[in-house]
Chain A
Amino acid sequence: MTNTTTEAATQGTDLDSLGPVDYIVVEFPAGASNFTGEMAKELIRLVDAGTIRLIDVLILTKDADGSIEAAELSDSEDLGELRKLESQLAELLAAEDVAHLAAAMEPGTTAGVLIWENLWAAPFASAARRSGGQLIANGRIPIQAIIASIEADERSTNGGD
């Protein structure tokens, strides 16, 4: 990341008021992608609403032989409404991150990688820090885990296996 990019990304961002930063990798199996612009529209809506700040975007392609190709958002010929977000991105992800993220991809697929700051959580996180709190754990609970827990409860209640 260049200094200019770093400064632009953090301009006006006090470290103490920074919200949690998350990432996702969304995989599109070969022939299954259906880009209608809906995803871009929802992403822009989240940014415009101040819910998130988009930090970085990469598009990864994993060939059948497992080789990885990475493309910047700006490499896309038709950015459409995403163009206004592209100019605000920071280059947070490094080349070695690409290899780590691509490990989850199946050969023959394309994936979008999104990094964002949860602006909605920043005020609460700041308040917790000012109160002396330290984040010691966080995570996401997959819906499938909730289903499994409920089903285990039901089996226990019903005296099943």
Chain B
Amino acid sequence: MPLRPGRVGRVGVIGAPVAKTAVVARAVTPGPAPIAKTAVVAAAVTPGRGRRRI
């Protein structure tokens, strides 16, 4: 199915080829089970929890 004529010949809004978001490689890295990671991430974004070292 062709694109609508209005899409052809215009300058695009996505500036460059898009790279696949690198989620799979890390997600399958050996380590704690995903459910455990979920709990850790949830704790890390909990209000009042500080881990910043600048």
B-chain residues with CB within 8 Å of residue A92 when the two chains form the complex: 13
A98's closest neighbor in chain B, by CB? Answer: B3
A94→B13 contact, CB < 8 A:
yes
Q: State the majority secondary structure of interface residues on B.
A: loop
Judge whether A161 is part of the interface by a CB distance below 8 angstroms: no
**Within 8 Å of chain B (Cβ to Cβ): is A137?**
no
Q: Are B7 and A1 in contact (CB under 8 A)?
A: yes
Known: A103-B17, A144-B27. A150 touches B4 (CB 8 A): no
Which B residues form the contact surface with A (CB < 8 A)? Answer: 1-4, 6-23, 26-27, 31, 37, 40-41, 44-45, 51
Q: Does A25 contact B (CB under 8 A)?
A: yes
- A151 vs B37: C-alpha distance when bound (angstroms): 10
In the complex, A126 Cα to B22 Cα: how many Å? 33
Q: Which 4 A-B pairs have CB atoms at the shortest separation, nearest pair first?
A: A103-B17, A97-B12, A94-B10, A96-B12
**Which residues of chain A have C-beta atoms less than 8 A from B27's C-beta?**
144
Interface residue count for A (Cβ, 8 Å)? 35
Residue in A closest to B19 when the chains form the complex, CB atoms: A104
A100 surroundings in chain B (CB, below 8 A):
12, 14-18
Residue of B nearest to A92 (CB): B13
Of A25, A75, A91, the residue contacting B7 (CB under 8 A) is: A91
B15 surroundings in chain A (CB, below 8 A): 100
CB distance from B39 to the nearest CB of A (A): 11
